[in-house]
Amino acid sequence: MMAPQMAASVWSAPIVLLFLFVCLVFSNLFPVSFTRDELLNIRQHIPANLFPDFEYSDVLLDILVGGMAVLFKCTMRRRRGKRAGALVRLRRRRFRTALPSIHLANLCSLPNKTDELHLLTCTNKDFSNSAAMCFTETWLSEAIPDSALHLPGFQLFKADRIAELTGKTRGGGTCFYINESWCTDVTTLKKMCCPNLEALFINCKPFYSPREFSSFILVTVYIAPNVCLNAVLQQLTVQITDTEQQYPDSVIIILGDFNKANLTRELPKYKQYITYPTRDRNILDHCYTTIKDAYRSVPRADLVLSDHCLVHLLPTYRQKLKSTKPVVRTEKRWTSEAERELQACFDCTDWSVFEAADTNLYKLTDTVTSYISFCEDMCIPTRTYLIFNNDKPWFTAELR
């Protein structure tokens, strides 16, 4: 039954095209013309049989419907394969990176650059596809509402400078813009504000992350110039160490304007990934994390009226699942039936044969042990499985 229907559907498309072509040719051979008066008086001279009743054939109707269905299916199949499928795959893979891509900059007043950031997020794919944007020296205060700093598709998390704690009425302040397509589960862990140090800790649990990372803790830091660097770094180290103890399976990424400070002196396991000058010939903006080969820094043009150049951090880390091969392991399954079969094998064994073969105790022990291992391999079934390097101890076979 399926073959005749498919054949009729295939033949119906050329028939429809031929019918439309014939109608077009005959309409050009016998044109109909009207004068102006006839067009104005056409309503009064409508004949009674203008709309006659047509008798149609079910066969012709089925052919026309079948032909249109074939053309519609071919068109939809072509669009679905070339456009829709490619766009869906692009949306899914845009943020399927092991680490988030981040933009870092020292703004010197965020309210004056909101319009420029809005334009960049709408026209520049680097900004719109960025997972997070970190800004220092935002010059924000409680008098500026969050609605005035809104960027489409991003969530704002800020830490304003408090004049009562710092004794300064201008400058400072840090903030994060988190892309909603990358993560919406964001929690503010802590804020620090003192005359020499300002910091903001947020915990991000994105839609996609490698199994070895439970979450990403982003830290933005601003260290004022001309301060005691040892005291500031010790204070920051205490806060980072406490966060590591509370979230041992999370990745901590520290960003910001460190001026002349170097965090690796206090925390040697953290590596700095910005390798080019960000202001004149000095590397003042830093990015620290404990992951090896985590980022590649790319310089961008600075924003308007900003004395620090923009830094784009591109992730280069490969997750353990892709960088290392899984380990193959084999284990024996000691079921009750296998134990009974092994016991029956031992009961049928004539152990005196081993004693008569050799009187040396060491050789006798070796022979009997080898025979027992042989019986285990014959009676006990085995199971082979893979162990991936990114598996957690609690990731059992039942949970998988």
> Are residue 56 and residue 177 in the same domain, yes or no?
no
pLDDT digits (tens, 9 = 90+) for 172-196: 899 999 999 999 999 999 999 988 8
> Are residue 310 and residue 347 in the same domain, yes or no?
no
> Are residue 245 and residue 190 in the same domain, yes or no?
yes
pLDDT computed for residue 89 by the predictor? 45
Inter-residue contact 321 to 210 (CB < 8 Å)? yes
Domains of the chain: total: 3
CA distance 206 to 97: 11
pLDDT computed for residue 79 by the predictor? 44
pLDDT computed for residue 202 by the predictor? 97
The two tokens of residue 131 are 């997972």
> Are residue 133 and residue 21 in the same domain, yes or no?
no
Low-confidence ranges of the chain (pLDDT < 50): 1-2, 54, 56, 59, 61, 76-92
> Are residue 194 and residue 275 in the same domain, yes or no?
yes
CA distance 289 to 271: 6
pLDDT computed for residue 265 by the predictor? 92
For 189, 262, 365, the CA distances from 221, given in Å and listed in that order, are: 14, 12, 68
CA distance 88 to 86: 6
pLDDT computed for residue 80 by the predictor? 44
pLDDT computed for residue 98 by the predictor? 85
| CA proximity to 272, closest of 255, 287, 294, 259 | 287
Q: Does 326 reside within a domain?
A: no
Q: For 162, left (φ over 0), alpha (ψ -120 to 50), or beta?
A: beta
> Are residue 281 and residue 376 in the same domain, yes or no?
no
Inter-residue contact 326 to 387 (CB < 8 Å)? yes
The structure tokens 């498919």 sit at: 6
Q: Does 395 reside within a domain?
A: no
Structural domain including 346 reads 334-380
Phi, psi dihedrals of residue 215, rounded to the nearest 5°: -165, 175
CA distance 115 to 128: 15
Phi, psi dihedrals of residue 65, rounded to the nearest 5°: -65, -40
Report the chain's C-alpha Rg in angstroms.
Answer: 37
Q: Does 224 reside within a domain?
A: yes
The two tokens of residue 21 are 């072509």
| CA proximity to 238, closest of 201, 206, 203 | 201
Q: Does 261 reside within a domain?
A: yes
pLDDT computed for residue 321 by the predictor? 76
Strands 271-272 and 102-106: unpaired
pLDDT digits (tens, 9 = 90+) for 246-276: 999 999 999 999 998 999 999 999 999 999 8
pLDDT computed for residue 19 by the predictor? 72
Could you please report the per-residue DSSP string of 233-244?
HHHHHHHHHHHH
Task: Give start and end residues of each alpha helix (H) in 224-277.
Answer: 229-246
Which helix (H) or strand (E) segment holds residue 272: the answer is strand 271-272
CA distance 388 to 327: 6
Q: Does 113 reside within a domain?
A: yes
Q: Does 192 reside within a domain?
A: yes
> Are residue 256 and residue 192 in the same domain, yes or no?
yes
> Are residue 89 and residue 117 in the same domain, yes or no?
no
* pTM, 2 dp: 0.65
pLDDT computed for residue 94 by the predictor? 60
- State the Cα angle at 310 between 304 and 312, rounded to 5°: 145
